[in-house]
Amino acid sequence: MNKFISGFSKLSKLEKIKWIANTYFSTPEEVEALLTTYWNADEKLQLLHDEFVENTITNFYLPLGVAPNFLINDTVYTIPMAIEESSVVAAAAKSAKYWSDRGGFKTSIIGTEKIGQVHFLFSGSSQKLQQFIQSIKPLFYSNTDHFTINMQKRGGGILDIILKDKTDLVPNYYQLHATFETKDSMGANFINTCLEEFSKTLLSQAELCTDFSEDEKNIQVIMSILSNYVPNCLVRAEVSCKVEDLADSTIKNPQEFAEKFVRAIQIAEVEPYRAVTHNKGIMNGVDSVILATGNDFRAIEAGVHAYASRSGKYSSLSHAKVENGIFTMWLEIPLALGTVGGLTSLHPLVKFSLEMLKKPSAQQLMQIVAATGLAQNFAAIKSLTTTGIQAGHMKMHLNNILNQLEASDDERTEVRNHFKSNTVTHAAVVELIKKTRNTI
């Protein structure tokens, strides 16, 4: 069957579903029932969700959990986390409670600078181009005044514009490298709008430049786009306490634990295979809050992992040390976030999440997110260096296995009781369910 279709976007939502169901499935009625089941009963709310993206057919739900007891800079937060991985919220909450008795998380903003670039080709004298850019630099600002006036009122705007010579990498390649302050908005649309105006100014002024030859006037703009690599939009999160205060039910020898913990972090600093999984654990916490607050987790992921590779080798985002009897763990992470614009005023659960976080500014949200990532990382390394990570993870995963097997309430009770003292594996759960059903 030919599966190409013209005019798909013009079909109604139900027509789209029917086409998909009839084209790809042997039981189209069941598919239609499944997709329409996930529609919101409130038509106005469903329409709002439908208009977030193109060709919407239904809603794809993720659980929204909360991790209470986060003490961040002496303020207590309950943090919203949208994620499907079973153990993440539990680990964050456990870590938050642990550190709430040991001074909590200390966070600070290192920088909030964001970056955009106009990439272009110029076949002429680099020195002549540099002089030209300096001469028209005031126009880059004045020609974007109508875009930047409101941002300037909030304390933001264009910070600087410089020319970068990249001809050693690509023939004739230069860029206008611009830095921005976007305050409480993530700023993607603002930055891209400014960049496109820069490119217009660049081209129009080049045409008028009497110092340029006809060939030099023929500047070719390749693209104008923000960068999701924001190494100067940086936040630090830290926890620390006396080594002896690390003791709890799983840490009987705090000094040994601290030394082993620091060594585990050092391994992630020097071994990329470990660092990737190590940083993924940090991003479990980071991404879940990013999603819950309506921010762009793909942009954050890309920027964070580029930052982790800034030395030329992929390395840990977090660090730890023991000095003078004090255990300290910290991370510095680039986060370009917004608390206004985008979905923040549209998605009801995003609005809920931000209100639960006491309506933070973008800088406050950066600190909350960083603390969550650090909490997640501490919980993971603590488990790895003490009890092992699989026992807790698989017990949290047990619900998913039971749901897959469509276990009854009695079966669930028996299985949970059995695995209080036994290691959870998928095969072991299946075997126990089979035995239970065979004895009935």
Active-site residue list: 85, 280, 296, 393
How far apart (Å, rounded) are the C-alpha atoms in residues 83 and 289?
9
How far apart (Å, rounded) are the C-alpha atoms in residues 366 and 357?
12
Beta-strand pair 106-109/234-242: antiparallel
Tell me the chain's radius of gyration from C-alpha atoms: 27
How far apart (Å, rounded) are the C-alpha atoms in residues 413 and 425?
17
Instruction: Give me the amino acid identity at 91.
Output: A
How far apart (Å, rounded) are the C-alpha atoms in residues 291 and 301?
12
Q: What separation in angstroms does the CA of 287 have from each of 96, 258, 299, 345?
A: 17, 28, 10, 20
Residue 218 CB burial class (10 angstroms; 0-12, 13-18, ≥19): middle
Residue 165 pairs in a beta bridge with 174
Q: What separation in angstroms does the CA of 249 have from each of 68, 90, 138?
A: 21, 17, 63
- End-to-end Cα distance, the chain: 47
Question: Between the CA atoms of 30, 31, 34 and 36, what dihedral angle is there, to the nearest 10 degrees?
Answer: -110
Q: 158 with 144: CB under 8 angstroms?
A: yes
Q: For residue 214, what are its two tokens?
A: 């006809």
Kind and range of the H or E run holding 379 = helix 362-385
Q: For residue 123, what are its two tokens?
A: 């076949």
How far apart (Å, rounded) are the C-alpha atoms in residues 346 and 131?
46
How far apart (Å, rounded) are the C-alpha atoms in residues 112 and 335?
9
Q: What separation in angstroms does the CA of 135 have from each of 128, 132, 157, 202, 250?
A: 11, 5, 21, 11, 65
Residue 166 pairs in a beta bridge with none
How far apart (Å, rounded) are the C-alpha atoms in residues 334 and 196?
25
Per DSSP, the three-state class of 227 is strand
How far apart (Å, rounded) are the C-alpha atoms in residues 272 and 313?
7
